């Protein structure tokens, strides 16, 4: 038995994390669930929220938006459609981006433009919510 969990977080743009950790909390579609070393195999759809990586007493919070979590005997792999390290977010800039996105939704002229603006606004609202939990 090992006392560390092998964890990888990958988005379409890049690999955000790969290494050994103590514990990961995943925002699954059925609710948050924790994964520690030697966890039973499971696969889950991810809902928007903060993925928490715990290691050596530190907690790293990463916003994930969609994707899958796969726990195997080898560890945890999260394939996220979108992922942002919350430590990289400037709260003041985020608030401005939220205001701009709300304006874009209000000012959208067509269905496709409105849909894109609403997706952007929902993503930013998800990041804001993940930062406050």
pTM here is 0.88
Long-range (24+ apart) CB contacts under 8 A made by 86-90 are: 86/50, 86/61, 86/62, 86/127, 86/130, 86/131, 87/60, 87/61, 89/127, 89/131
Return the pLDDT at 113: 87
Helix (H) or strand (E) holding 100: helix 91-107
Return the pLDDT at 27: 95
Return the pLDDT at 111: 83
Return the pLDDT at 118: 93
Distance CA(109)–CA(22), nearest Å, equals 49
What is the pLDDT tens value at each position of the chain, 133 positions in all? 458 999 999 999 899 999 999 999 999 999 999 999 999 999 999 999 999 999 999 999 999 999 999 999 889 999 999 999 999 999 999 999 999 999 999 888 878 888 999 999 999 999 999 988 7
Distance CA(7)–CA(9), nearest Å, equals 7
Structure token digits, residue 74: 């080898």
Return the pLDDT at 2: 59
Distance CA(33)–CA(96), nearest Å, equals 32
Return the pLDDT at 20: 97
């Amino acid at each position: 038995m090992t006392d560390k969990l092998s964890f990888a977080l990958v988005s379409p743009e890049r690999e955000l994390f790969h290494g050994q950790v103590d514990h990961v909390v995943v925002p699954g579609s059925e609710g948050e669930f924790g994964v520690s070393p030697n966890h039973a195999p499971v696969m889950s759809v991810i809902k928007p929220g903060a993925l928490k990586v715990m290691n050596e007493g530190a907690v790293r919070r990463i916003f994930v938006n969609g994707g899958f979590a796969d726990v195997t005997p080898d560890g945890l792999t999260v394939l996220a459609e979108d992922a942002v390290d919350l430590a990289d977010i400037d709260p003041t800039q985020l608030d401005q981006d939220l205001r701009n996105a709300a304006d874009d939704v209000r000012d959208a002229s067509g269905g496709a433009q409105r849909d894109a603006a609403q997706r952007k606004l929902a993503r930013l609202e998800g990041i804001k919510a993940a930062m406050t939990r």
